[in-house]
Amino acid sequence: MQTGRICNACKQEIQRDILDQNYSICPQCGYYMRMHARKRILSLADKKSFREWDANMKLSNPLNDSEYALKAVETAVKHKLNDAIITGEMNMEGSHVAIGVMDTRYMMASMGHVVGERVARLFEKAAEKKLPVIMFCCSGGARMQEGIISLMQMEKTAAAVRKHSEAGLLYISVLTNPTMGGVTASFAMLADIVLAEKGARIGFAGARVIEQNTGETLPDDFQTAEFQLEHGFVDDVISRAGLREYLSKVLKFHMNRGWYTGHHKSWGVNTVESDPNDLDAWETVLKARSRERPTSLDYVNQIFDDFMEFHGDKVWADDHAVVGGIASIYGKAVTVIGQQKGKNSMNEAVYRNWGMPSPSGYRKALRLMKQAEKFKRPVICFVDTVGAACGIEAEQQGQGYVIANVLRETSAIKVPMLSIIHGEGGSGGALAFGVANEVWMLENAVYSVLTPEGYASILWKDNARADKAAELMKMTSKDLKGLRVVDKVFQEPEDLNHTNMGELCLQIREAITLFLKRNEKKTEKSILQERYKRFREF
């Protein structure tokens, strides 16, 4: 008689075959039970495509601990596992990948020599074969029975990840429950895209140790996947059932030299007749600020196919005033980044901090730009902010330095960059998204060194004269085209909003396609020179 597994959350006994059909998710309460390595591989690999690497590695027992040697043999026999990780290569929906999957049944998937060696070889061999790596992590940390030798595995694996990355290859890690200690502090966190399974516990020091050390009571969500997302360390939290599809999609974005083979949007739009506007500068400012205007995400979703959002700055937080990720346009993969205002409710406006990015937002943007550079994807930025976040915390985190750093670094990003100002373009906070080979603007957007209210207040100590300031500041698309601050202006339909933006988006889509074509054959050197020259002229 087959016995089931007991769910950790609801304590019900679940039949194994039912669990196997349900990705080891408890059908009673939805709890993600730990998934055994071979089952994980079976759930992802195309039929019979998995080939194991380094299967017969012998246990290293560097401290000659006889108790450890005995326990290792017993564990291996009991679970049919030769140490805590399985590595190899396989196909997944046609994409050829190298894969590593850890298994907590073997000494809590702690990392000793065999785990470290298999991980290092996985990345070395993948680099040789030019394969992306997918790593499923779970671990209690370093393997104590191997002492200092287990500590050395952290650096060994981190260095192997770097070598693989320097070959321009993709690494995706999926952090599962639990990923702790030396594995978190080495290869697990070093992926280009770090994903976490819903509810997984992820951290460096264990919660109990932290409580003992600090005497503080920790919040319930401490070190959960969701906590890590909010604090900027994982790109996204994903559900197990949709994982194969999700990973396949990410892989497709990174294969075929950036030509995405996924789904393409079909286009049907109503043409909206529009005449050039005769608004004065202040009226344009009010229009640019209108809550009816589409947001960056509206444009991203309308113009591109298959947008995948990634989160976090890998330092402190995920700033919701900045959104970014990968998308495609007529099959060409690009990185898109935008400043995002909330528009439907006060809650959303607060959540997005009125579209004013914090240092975390600029760090996230720069991280995504550098990733685009690694994978040779053009970058397209959408500008819509009254300015960078203004407050104590922003200053404590060096808002000025962070923006300066983006300006410096974006001058050297070796892929074509395009910036589209579609709403408000205020100050250095906007410019940080505006260092591009070409800068475009919508007819009723504005772009200026600060708000007209701020200008009037500084120069005349009277912010009621903002309308006069707006006129003087030359902040409309017409003025800026004349000053050659922007290269191209798109005419808008009357009272632009998300219901009448179709024709405009189609025009932008076509123009982006031409921009990509214009830049396709250029060398990295000439892309950089052109961008440098564009701003050097002012």
Does position 92 interact with Zn ion (CB under 5 A)? The reply is no
SS (H, E, C) 341-380: CCCCCHHHHHHCHHHCCCHHHHHHHHHHHHHHHHCCCCEE
- How near is the Cβ of 198 to Zn ion at its closest, in Å? 14
List the interface residues with Zn ion, window 30-59 (CB under 5 A): 31
Residues 358 and 232: their CA atoms lie apart, in Å, by 13
**DSSP 8-class letter at 288:** H
Task: Return the closest-CA partner of residue 451 out of 380, 354, 363, 337.
Answer: 354
Q: Which of 7, 135, 194, 446 binds Zn ion (CB under 5 A)?
A: 7
Task: Return the closest-CA partner of residue 119 out of 142, 105, 99.
Answer: 99
- How near is the Cβ of 79 to Zn ion at its closest, in Å? 22
The residue (of 14 and 195) whose beta carbon lies closer to Zn ion is 14
Residue 181 host element (H or E):
helix 181-184
The residue (of 26 and 120) whose beta carbon lies closer to Zn ion is 26
Under 8 Å CB-to-CB from 218, ≥6 apart: which residues? 207, 210, 211
The residue (of 19 and 81) whose beta carbon lies closer to Zn ion is 19
Which span sits near Zn ion by CB under 5 A: 8-16, 46-54, 296-304, 315-323?
8-16
Distances (CA, A) of 505 to 270, 328, 425: 11, 15, 19
The residue (of 11 and 257) whose beta carbon lies closer to Zn ion is 11
281-288 helix and 466-473 helix, angle to the nearest 10 degrees: 100
- How near is the Cβ of 27 to Zn ion at its closest, in Å? 8
The residue (of 25 and 160) whose beta carbon lies closer to Zn ion is 25
List the interface residues with Zn ion, window 275-334 (CB under 5 A): none
- How near is the Cβ of 25 to Zn ion at its closest, in Å? 9
The residue (of 24 and 427) whose beta carbon lies closer to Zn ion is 24
The residue (of 9 and 272) whose beta carbon lies closer to Zn ion is 9
| Three-state secondary-structure class, residue 510 | helix
- How near is the Cβ of 246 to Zn ion at its closest, in Å? 24
The residue (of 10 and 412) whose beta carbon lies closer to Zn ion is 10
Strands 171-179 and 133-139, sheet pairing: parallel
Which span sits near Zn ion by CB under 5 A: 2-10, 114-122, 327-335, 521-529?
2-10
- How near is the Cβ of 38 to Zn ion at its closest, in Å? 23
- How near is the Cβ of 26 to Zn ion at its closest, in Å? 3
- Which residue type sits at 202? I
Does position 10 interact with Zn ion (CB under 5 A)? The reply is yes
- How near is the Cβ of 7 to Zn ion at its closest, in Å? 3
- How near is the Cβ of 8 to Zn ion at its closest, in Å? 7
- CB contact at 8 A, 377 and 417: no
**Total of chain residues touching Zn ion, rule CB under 5 A:** 7
- How near is the Cβ of 337 to Zn ion at its closest, in Å? 40
Q: Over the range 399-412, which residues count as b (16 or more CB within 10 Å of their CB) and which as e? A: beebbebbeeebee
Task: Return the closest-CA partner of residue 97 out of 164, 170, 163, 27.
Answer: 170
Residues 386 and 218: their CA atoms lie apart, in Å, by 37
The residue (of 5 and 488) whose beta carbon lies closer to Zn ion is 5
Distances (CA, A) of 275 to 35, 202, 505: 61, 56, 17
Structure tokens at 104: 């907590």
Under 8 Å CB-to-CB from 450, ≥6 apart: which residues? 387, 426, 427, 458
The residue (of 27 and 62) whose beta carbon lies closer to Zn ion is 27
Q: Where are the alpha helices (DSSP H) in 217-273?
A: 225-230, 243-253
The residue (of 28 and 499) whose beta carbon lies closer to Zn ion is 28
- CB contact at 8 A, 19 and 88: no
- How near is the Cβ of 228 to Zn ion at its closest, in Å? 23
Q: What share of the chain is helix, strand, coil (3-state, %, to 5)?
A: 40, 20, 40
- How near is the Cβ of 18 to Zn ion at its closest, in Å? 12
The residue (of 33 and 380) whose beta carbon lies closer to Zn ion is 33
The residue (of 28 and 290) whose beta carbon lies closer to Zn ion is 28
Structure tokens at 55: 């299967």
Task: Return the closest-CA partner of residue 202 out of 172, 173, 226.
Answer: 226
Q: Which of 9, 57, 269, 506 binds Zn ion (CB under 5 A)?
A: 9
Residues 327 and 171: their CA atoms lie apart, in Å, by 18
- How near is the Cβ of 225 to Zn ion at its closest, in Å? 18
List the interface residues with Zn ion, window 387-406 (CB under 5 A): none
Which span sits near Zn ion by CB under 5 A: 10-18, 181-189, 217-225, 343-351?
10-18
List the interface residues with Zn ion, window 16-35 (CB under 5 A): 26, 28-29, 31
- How near is the Cβ of 11 to Zn ion at its closest, in Å? 7
Under 8 Å CB-to-CB from 124, ≥6 apart: which residues? 160, 163, 164
Which span sits near Zn ion by CB under 5 A: 9-17, 235-243, 282-290, 306-314?
9-17
The residue (of 9 and 158) whose beta carbon lies closer to Zn ion is 9
Distances (CA, A) of 474 to 282, 288, 355, 386, 448: 11, 14, 23, 16, 8
Q: Which residues bind Zn ion (CB under 5 A)?
A: 7, 9-10, 26, 28-29, 31
